[in-house]
């Protein structure tokens, strides 16, 4: 029995190991959690950086909050159709990695935006990380009258978040294997 409990504990810790880069809430009740996660195999492999070439799986979990949200909104539900990109900058050298975060699904976070990246420097360097969030285009998301009357013709405004002095060392050294 102890071995089973230990195995469950190790498995949960292994798969839940993530570095929280930043957390934000924007109206009308959308929560952003930006993370550096353990590198992983992502399919199809032909359009994703291979795990052995990856330093970090950079993520944006974007969901409705659980309170103070629009009527009829599923608390905690995934926010689709956003265009999210990230620039990771080595604070010592100025080298940068730019990546578009695309929708992913797994058994840990469920739907999220993410990509495998290779850090532009050493694992133990300090980095700044910028996230650029663009609202869905007028061709990607349509609005019913009730939403338009309450919130206008947009889900959110385009927004940028920047975080400095991020150390990816621990998460970059971690592995799911």
Q: What DSSP line would sit under 90-110, residue for residue? A: ETTT--EEEEEEEEEE-SSS-
Q: Which band of pLDDT confidence, cut at 50, 70 and 90, is reported for residue 16?
A: low
Q: Classify residue 151 by its DSSP letter.
A: H
The pLDDT assigned to 2 comes to 52
Nearest to 62 by CA among 166, 176, 159, 165: 159
Q: Write down the pTM of the prediction.
A: 0.89
Q: Both ends of the chain: CA-CA distance in Å?
A: 24
Q: Work out the average pLDDT over 109-132.
A: 98
Structural domains of the chain, ranges and CATH numbers in brackets:
2-173 (2.60.40.2480)
The pLDDT assigned to 10 comes to 40
């Amino acid at each position: 029995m102890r071995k089973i409990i230990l195995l469950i504990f190790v498995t949960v810790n292994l798969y839940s190991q993530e570095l929280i880069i930043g957390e934000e809430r924007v109206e009308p009740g959308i929560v952003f959690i930006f993370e550096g996660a353990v590198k992983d195999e992502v399919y199809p492999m032909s359009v994703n950086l291979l795990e052995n070439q990856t330093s970090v799986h950079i993520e944006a979990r974007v969901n409705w909050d659980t309170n103070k949200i629009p009527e009829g909104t599923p608390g905690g539900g995934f926010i689709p159709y956003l265009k999210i990109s990230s620039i990771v900058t080595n604070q010592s050298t100025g080298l940068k990695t730019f990546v578009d975060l695309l929708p992913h699904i797994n058994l840990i976070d469920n739907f999220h935006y993410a990509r495998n990246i290779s850090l532009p420097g050493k694992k133990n360097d300090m980095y700044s990380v910028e996230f650029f969030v663009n609202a869905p285009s007028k061709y990607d998301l349509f609005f019913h009258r009730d939403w338009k009357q309450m919130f206008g013709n947009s889900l959110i405004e385009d927004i940028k978040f920047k975080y400095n002095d991020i150390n990816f060392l621990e998460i970059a050294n971690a592995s799911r294997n």
